[in-house]
Amino acid sequence: HENLLEVRDLYKHFPIKGGVFSRTIGHVKAVDGVSFFVKKGETLGIVGESGCGKSTTGKTLLRLIEPTSGDIIFKGQNIADFDKDNLRKVRRNMQFVFQDPYSSLNPRMTVGDIVGEPLDIHNIKKGAEKYKKVAELLDVVGLSPYHIRRYPHEFSGGQRQRIGVARALALNPELIILDEPVSALDVSIQSQVINLLEDLQEEFGLTYVFIAHDLSVVKHISDRVGVMYLGKMVEMADKDTLYDNPQHPYTQALLSAVPIPDPEIRQEKIILTGDVPSPVNPPKGCRFHTRCRYAMDRCKEEEPEFRDVGNEHYVACHLMDK
Ligand code: SF4
Ligand code: MG
């Protein structure tokens, strides 16, 4: 297989300022040493509870947030080292769709200007040619070219997310990072947008990183899925393996909370006790040990390695050593 993107030892620590002199008094370790790859043409889902670092991970991949350290290898080049010019060029190929279609679209810009803006920024198409491209893009996402002169507030949530997707497609990117793209939408609208994303992926050969907290949405669209907890990737596997044979106790607990439609299948619900610890001071050793029902002495001291237990099934848990 060919990896379109490879992420190695990615860190993002946000400084916390405090005191009268507004000095750095600590760090939020939002992303705390994450490594994974994304294959060309696939959808990699990334799931986890809010605050686990999944959105921050997504934004650092395009350097919308600057990583503290780590390698971001896109098509063989480490874009973490790129200067502004090179970064601007490579961004034609990597786009981002934001979680909230209400706040991510500029309310004072027409739909035509919003969707066409990337073409302006990169100086690609102007005038009638740009207009034609924007009309095409609106058509591709299921909107009408007549929407060009309208404003975001005139559209429903689902339509606004389609506008966001049209904008992301404007430069014919290979990779699109989608940050909770359907979380703000009604369930019925969610599946329409998911279906659209799947159609577009096939039509344009797109690669997706799809970030969400909803395990059932991710299951539908993903080829592989990664699970994050407190700034770390704890498990990653192809979709069927992850959902049918999860190995990490945290993944098992998350999945046990997802209702199964078949009443014949009985499932034990694993209740996670305790709060998610603060990402300012994550627990020593395995950072899940404060909530893990299998925690051993070793787990409190030694951090488990995120490693392949077979067939690209990655797990960070000491139980895998047995
Ligand atoms: Fe639980 Fe230990 Fe595995 Fe962490 S390493 S998930 S605490 S068993
Ligand atoms: Mg988020």
pLDDT tens track for 131-180: 999 999 999 999 999 999 999 999 999 999 999 999 999 999 999 999 99
Which of the pair, 20 or 46, is modelled with greater confidence? 46
Residue having the nearest C-alpha atom to atom 5 of ligand 1? 317
Name the residue type at position 85: D
259 or 209, greater pLDDT:
209
- Cα dihedral sign for 206, 75, 230, 17? negative
Q: Whose CA is nearest to atom 7 of ligand 1?
A: 289
Could you say which ligand is closest to the alpha carbon of residue 58? 2
Question: Residues with Cβ < 8 Å from 267, sequence gap 6 or more?
Answer: 256, 260
Average pLDDT on 203-215 reads 96
Taking only the tens place, the pLDDT of each residue in 265-284 is 667 788 888 888 999 999 99
Nearest ligand (C-alpha, residue 49) = 2
Higher pLDDT, 265 or 231: 231
CA 55 / ligand 2 centre spacing (Å): 5
Compute, in angstroms, the gap from residue 42 CA to the centroid of ligand 1: 30
Distance in Å, CA 281 to ligand 1 centroid: 18
Q: What is the pLDDT of residue 270?
A: 86
* Band of residue 1 on the pLDDT scale cut at 50, 70, 90: low
Which ligand 1 atom lies nearest to the CA of residue 286?
Answer: 4
**Contact assessment for residue 118 and residue 170, using Cβ atoms and an 8 Å cutoff:** yes
Does 263 score more than 70 pLDDT?
Answer: no
- Least trusted range by pLDDT, from 70-84, 122-136, 194-208: 122-136
Query: Chain-wide mean pLDDT for the chain?
Result: 93
**For 12, phi and psi rounded to 5 degrees?**
-140, 110
pLDDT given at position 284: 96
**Inter-axis angle of helices 187-204 and 157-169, nearest 10:** 20
pLDDT confidence bin for 102, thresholds 50/70/90: confident
The answer for 262, left when phi > 0, alpha when psi is -120 to 50, beta otherwise, is beta
For residue 212, list its beta bridge partners: 47
pTM of structure: 0.94
pLDDT > 90 in the chain, percent: 82
- Residue-wise pLDDT for 12-28, tens only, equals 999 999 888 889 999 99
pLDDT category at 37 given cuts 50, 70, 90 is very high
Closest atom, ligand 1, to C-alpha of 250: 6
Listing DSSP states for 253-318 in one string gives HHHHTSPPS-TTS--PPPPPPSPPPPTTSPPSSSTTTTT-TT--HHHHHSPPP-EE-STT-EE--G
Q: Which of 292, 300, 303, 315 should be mutated for ligand 1, with most atoms under 8 A from CB? A: 292
For residues 68-93, average pLDDT: 96
- Expressed in angstroms and rounded, the spacing between residue 282 Cα and the centre of ligand 2 is 19
The percentage of residues in the chain with a pLDDT greater than 70, rounded to a whole number, is: 98
Q: Which residue's CA is the nearest one to ligand 1's atom 6? A: 317
Q: Which of 250, 317, 320 to mutate to test the pocket of ligand 1 (most atoms within 8 A of CB)?
A: 317
Ligand 1-lining residues (CB < 6 angstroms)? 248-249, 286, 288-289, 292, 294-296, 299, 304, 317-319
Give the pLDDT of residue 285.
98
Would you say residue 262 has pLDDT above 80?
no
Cα 306 to ligand 1 centroid, rounded to whole Å? 12
Mutation test residue for ligand 1: of 252, 299, 321, the one with most atoms within 8 Å of CB: 299
For atom 3 of ligand 1, the residue with the nearest CA is: 317
Residue 43's H or E segment, with its range, is: strand 43-47
CA of 58 to the centre of ligand 2 (A): 9
Task: Return phi, psi of residue 64, to 5°.
Answer: -70, -30
- Ligand nearest to C-alpha 100: 2
| The pLDDT of residue 207 | 98
Average pLDDT over residues 86-91: 94
